[in-house]
C-alpha cells in the first residue's frame, strides 16, 4: 500500500498547465466552429464562448481524474499520472464553479438569474448547484 502524498504547488502547476492546454484546444475548436471568440453577438455577450471553453475544460478534467485510475491499472504509461489525479480533479471542480459564476453573473445577455431558475432552465440550474455542492464536499 502506498503512503499518502501531500499536494505541492508543483502538482497544482502541472494540473493547471493541463487545463490551459485543454483550454487552448477547445478554444481553437470553438473559434473555428463559431467564427468568433470574444466578438459574440449582443444577444450572447462577450464571455459566451470563453464560458463554454471553461465548462468543457472542467468536464474533461473531472472525467480525466476519474479515468486515470483504470488507465493506470491497464497501461503502465499512466502510472505517473496517479500522483496528479487529485489536483486534476480539484482544478476541474474549481473551473466548473467558475463556469457557474460566469453564467449567473457575467453573461446576463444570455442568462439572467430569473431565466436560470424558471422554466426549462430550472432543472439544469439545480443540477449544476448539486454538482457544485458535491465537488465542494
Tell me the CA distances in angstroms from 109 to 12, 30, 32, 91, one per residue in order. 34, 19, 23, 27
Q: Over the chain, what is the mean pLDDT?
A: 84
Per-residue pLDDT at 95: 94
C-alpha cell at 117: 431558475
Q: In the chain, which ranges are continuous DSSP H helix?
A: 9-34, 48-74, 85-101, 113-116, 121-136
Give mean pLDDT, residues 117-127: 78
Q: Would you say residue 29 has pLDDT above 80?
A: yes
For 3, which DSSP code?
P
pTM: 0.82
**Unique residue bearing C-alpha cell 443540477:** 127
Per-residue pLDDT at 3: 66
Q: Would you say residue 44 has pLDDT above 50?
A: yes
Length of the chain: 137
Per-residue pLDDT tens for 78-109?
A: 888 888 898 999 999 999 989 988 888 777 76
Amino acid at each position: 500500500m502506498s503512503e499518502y502524498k501531500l499536494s505541492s504547488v508543483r502538482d497544482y502547476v502541472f494540473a493547471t498547465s493541463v487545463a490551459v492546454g485543454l483550454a487552448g484546444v477547445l478554444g481553437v475548436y470553438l473559434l473555428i466552429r463559431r467564427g468568433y471568440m470574444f466578438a459574440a453577438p449582443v444577444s450572447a455577450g462577450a464571455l459566451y464562448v470563453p464560458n463554454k471553453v471553461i465548462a468543457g475544460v472542467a468536464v474533461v478534467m473531472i472525467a480525466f481524474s476519474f479515468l486515470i485510475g483504470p488507465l493506470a491499472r491497464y497501461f503502465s504509461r499512466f502510472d505517473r499520472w496517479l500522483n496528479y489525479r487529485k489536483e486534476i480533479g480539484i482544478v476541474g471542480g474549481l473551473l466548473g464553479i467558475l463556469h457557474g459564476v460566469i453564467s449567473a453573473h457575467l453573461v446576463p445577455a444570455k442568462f439572467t438569474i430569473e431565466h436560470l431558475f424558471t422554466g426549462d432552465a430550472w432543472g439544469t440550474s439545480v443540477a449544476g448547484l448539486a454538482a457544485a455542492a458535491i465537488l465542494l464536499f
